[in-house]
């Protein structure tokens, strides 16, 4: 017997010099979403549309109003703490903060797709290595991991 089920869905679209990420979480007791517009080059959050359609308690929906306070934030180091202080923790919703951080990760991944399509190999490698260094095995050890295989 299934007691709980959760699905997250995210997509990124380019609109001029901006990226839009749409992220949604639907589970047995929640239905919530974000639309976040950020600058393609600086990853500054320009606009946030937040909604909580279904929550376990009516008071939970108040957290969506707090998300607008993240407008102007530049996506980067220290962001998790700011997001948790703004829409997570005792004054927020863990699931909503988690969805926001998922949206940020997907937005950055979408930006990497744009870099791949719009920059030459040397520029791509420089940006990838500077932003992804030490985030995974490959970006820690690079092609060294392929030696001997």
Note the pLDDT tens digit of each residue in 50-61.
999 999 999 999
pLDDT band per the 50, 70, 90 thresholds, residue 147: very low
* Domain annotation covers residue 47: yes
> What is the arithmetic mean of pLDDT over 101-106?
96
Q: Please report the pLDDT score of residue 15 as a whole number.
A: 96
pTM of the model: 0.86
> What is the arithmetic mean of pLDDT over 90-118?
93
* CA atoms of 30 and 74, how far apart (whole Å): 28
* Domain annotation covers residue 149: no
* Domain annotation covers residue 148: no
The residue segments making up the domain with residue 48 are 6-140
The fraction of the chain above a pLDDT of 70, given in percent, is: 95
Name the domain count of the chain.
1
- Residue 84 gets the label, from left (phi > 0), alpha (psi -120 to 50) or beta, of alpha
* Domain annotation covers residue 145: no
């Amino acid at each position: 017997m299934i007691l709980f089920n959760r699905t997250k869905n995210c997509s990124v679209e380019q609109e001029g010099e901006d990226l839009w990420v749409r992220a949604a979480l639907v589970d047995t007791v929640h239905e919530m979403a974000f639309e976040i517009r950020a600058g393609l080059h600086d990853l500054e959050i320009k606009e946030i549309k937040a909604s909580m359609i279904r929550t376990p308690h009516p008071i939970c929906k108040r957290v969506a109003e707090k998300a607008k306070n993240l407008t102007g934030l530049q996506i980067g180091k220290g962001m998790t703490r700011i997001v948790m202080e703004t829409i997570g923790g005792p004054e927020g919703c863990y699931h909503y903060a988690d969805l926001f951080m998922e949206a940020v990760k997907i937005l950055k991944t979408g930006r990497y797709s744009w870099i791949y399509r719009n920059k030459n190999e040397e520029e791509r490698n420089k940006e990838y290595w500077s932003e992804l260094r030490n985030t995974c095995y490959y970006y820690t050890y690079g092609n060294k991991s392929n030696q001997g295989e």
